[in-house]
Amino acid sequence: MRNFSIKIYIPLTLAVFMVLGNACMKDFLDIKREKTQVVPVYLRDYQALLDDGLMNLYYPYLLGEIGSDDYFITEEQWRGLSNPVHQNAYVWADDVYQGERGEDWNRGYEKILYSNFVLEGVNSVKETSTNKQLRDELMGAAHFYRGTQFFLLTQLFCKQYDKATANEDLGLPLRTSSNINLSYQRSTLGETYRQIVADLDKATVLLPNHMSVNTRPWRAAAYAMLANVYLQMGDYQSAHNKADKSLNLASYILNYNDLDVGVNLPFPRNGEGNKEVIFYSQMDNAPILNVTRLNIDSVLYDTFSNDDLRKQAFFRFNENAGINTFKGHYSGTTAFMFSGLTTAEMLLVRMECSARLGYVDNAIADLNLLRFHRFAKDYFEPVSIDGIAENEVLETVLSERRKELIFRGRRWHDLKRLNQDPNQAQSLLRIFGSEVYTLTANSPKWVWPIPPDVITQGNYIQNER
């Protein structure tokens, strides 16, 4: 009897359990754990990723901005900094990181992962006549972001582009897949720039002709970014061409006469309603670049004419410190520095290229166009072609660029490219009492080292220092 029971009941029970279990188990378990966690499938999921603030924040400019000469800090302020990376970057120390992470590298490659994730995802969504527009826009935006990040990282971690050596100089690891199991070694600088140009070229084709919000890239932004890339490469013809195309799509220049330049923050928050902004992005906030420490060198300050409204709009006299500090953030907050693209910047690119290519009239015209919008209405006097020697045009244009693009992350890029020209090259100095730190124009320290954790994990070749 007992044997019978065991023989019958146990298999019977097990059979019942198995049938019940397997039939419903897959459906029962095939459920997301968290509702806001979504396995991305639809285009709207990818749009939501590209709409995230991460794609507009933490642009990798910090090392360059900290290391350049828009500002200076006192020794006491410097000693009070808690982040050793910022301290070291300020004096271009040999060991920049002291074991800490490199936020520029991490933030740049994080956006590249997003771009790759979106490109792969959108590619797997079949194109239909109804989704083509959105699909193109998302692909275009992903290419824009990837190209832009590669470009910005190149400025920090690679040598200045030189056509002659570009195919030997070290570029970036060109990570173009979200698969973390794939490994990419450093490419040549030439390959890196070809990737940047290819990405941005695709973006100019795919992106729409109109801006919806200033945090989403559109065609004018892609042309503007491309213009910046060509300018950095020294390809002035192409840079002129792209800047011109961008200006054809977006040409509004903000007239500072319409602003109350005296207030603490003259520009609207987040570039809201500032039609000069083609694309909005900002840098990470670093205590070293906090408003209390942004001391402006009096030489730079004095280059602004008193009739130039930028002088009032950009600077504020800090009575406690007895020095001028910066307040002209296009972000509308002192917490973050704007690093996005503006029509005024495109004018500057176009005028510089015109000057370099010998179209002096065009350069002067663009210069006057910009100045008209920057100078006090009653005091604006156009620069006359007759009043300026031809060889001074470039210098005037570059000086205008220096003034307009202060604290936009452009200074490091400009210093790097201008250092190639012996007439423009300059060394930077940091002076703490008797101690003087120098960054000479031909120093290898214009290339920041790759963060140590990246080198250890990825086995990349480190930059010389």
Partner 1 sequence: MKKYILLFIGLCVTVQLCAQLSGRVYSDDTKEPLVGATLNLIRTEFSTVTDGSGSFKIPFVTIPDTLLVHYTGYIVQIIPLDDTPTDLDIYLKTENTVIDEVVVNTGYQSLPRERATGSFTKIDNDLFNRSVSMDLISRLEGVTSGLSYELPRTLGGVPSSTPNLRIRGLSTIRGETEPLIVVDNFPYEGDLNNINPNDVESITILKDAASASIWGARAGNGVIVITTKGGTSSRRPTINFNTNISLTERPDLFYDRRFLPPSEAVELEREFFSRGLYGKEDWDANTPALEILIALDEGNIDAATANNMLDGLKRYDLRKEAGSHLYRQGLNQQYAINISGGSDNYQYYLSSGLDNNASNLIGNGYERISLSAKNDLQPIKKLNISTSINFIKSKMMNNGISILNLAGTNPYIYMRLADENGDALPIVKNNRFTYIDKALEIGLLDWHYRPLEELKMNDNITKSQEIRVNTSARYNLRQGFNAEVHYQYQSIGNSTRVHHVTESYFTRNEINRFTQADGSRPVPLGGVLDRSGNTFTSHYGRAQIDYNGAWEGRHEINALAGFELRHEQNISDGSSRIFGYDDQVLTYISDMNFNSNFPIRPRLISSRIPNGTSPGRQFVDRFVSYYANFAYSWDTKYTLSGSVRWDASNIFGVDFNNKGVPLWSLGGAWSISEEPFFISNWVDHAKLRVTYGSNGNAVRSISALPFISYGFTNSISRLPSARIGSVGNPDLSWEQVNTVNLAIDFSILNRRVFGSLELYNKQSKNLIGEDLIDPTTGIIGLGNGYNIDNQWNYADLRAHGIDVDVSTLNIDKAAKWETNMLFSYVTNKVTNYFAEPNTPIIRFLGDSSIPVVEGNSIDQLYAIPWHGLDGGGSPLVSVDGELGNDYNSYFSNLRREDLLRVGTSMPPYFGSIRNTFTWRSISASFNLMWKGGHWFRRESIVYNWLFGPSRLTHVDYLTRWQNPGDELVTSVPSMPERTDLRRDQAYMFSEALVERGDHIRLQDVNISYQLPQKITRNIGVSQVRLYGYARNLGIIWKHTDLDIDPDVRALYPQPLQIAFGLQIQL
CB closer to partner 1, 35 vs 126: 35
Euclidean distance between CA atoms 395 and 329, whole angstroms: 25
Rounded least distance, CB 335 to partner 1, Å: 9
Handedness of CA 57, 72, 448, 165 (dihedral sign): positive
CB closer to partner 1, 58 vs 315: 58
Rounded least distance, CB 227 to partner 1, Å: 23
CB closer to partner 1, 32 vs 126: 32
Rounded least distance, CB 345 to partner 1, Å: 19
Rounded to 5°, angle at Cα 345 from 342 and 349: 145
Are 189 and 159 in contact by the 8 Å Cβ rule? The answer is: yes
Rounded least distance, CB 415 to partner 1, Å: 26
Give SS3 for 327: coil
- Listed in sequence order, the DSSP H helices in 186-293 are 189-206, 219-233, 236-249
Which token pair is 339?
């690093």
CB closer to partner 1, 184 vs 379: 184
Task: Report CA-CA distances (Å) from 53 to 50, 214, 225, 283.
Answer: 8, 12, 19, 12
Rounded least distance, CB 173 to partner 1, Å: 5
Rounded least distance, CB 371 to partner 1, Å: 29
Task: Compute the CA torsion angle 132, 250, 141, 190 (nearest 10 deg).
Answer: 120
Backbone angles phi, psi at 82, to 5 degrees: -90, -20
Handedness of CA 63, 69, 73, 78 (dihedral sign): positive
Rounded least distance, CB 262 to partner 1, Å: 13
CB closer to partner 1, 189 vs 415: 189
For 277-309, b/e burial (b = at least 16 CB within 10 A) is bbbbbbbbbbebbeeebbbbeeebeeebeeebb
Place of tokens 């402006």: 296
Rounded least distance, CB 79 to partner 1, Å: 7
Which token pair is 170?
């070290």
Place of tokens 């200033």: 214
Rounded least distance, CB 124 to partner 1, Å: 12
Euclidean distance between CA atoms 311 and 317, whole angstroms: 11
CB closer to partner 1, 41 vs 198: 41
Local structure of residue 282 (DSSP, 8 states): B
Backbone angles phi, psi at 5, to 5 degrees: -60, -50
Rounded least distance, CB 284 to partner 1, Å: 9
438's CB contacts (< 8 A; 6+ apart) are 427, 428, 429, 430
CB closer to partner 1, 232 vs 270: 270
CB closer to partner 1, 61 vs 375: 61
CB closer to partner 1, 268 vs 382: 268
For 104-135, b/e burial (b = at least 16 CB within 10 A) is bbebbbebbebbbbbbebbeebeeeeeeeebb
CB closer to partner 1, 64 vs 108: 108
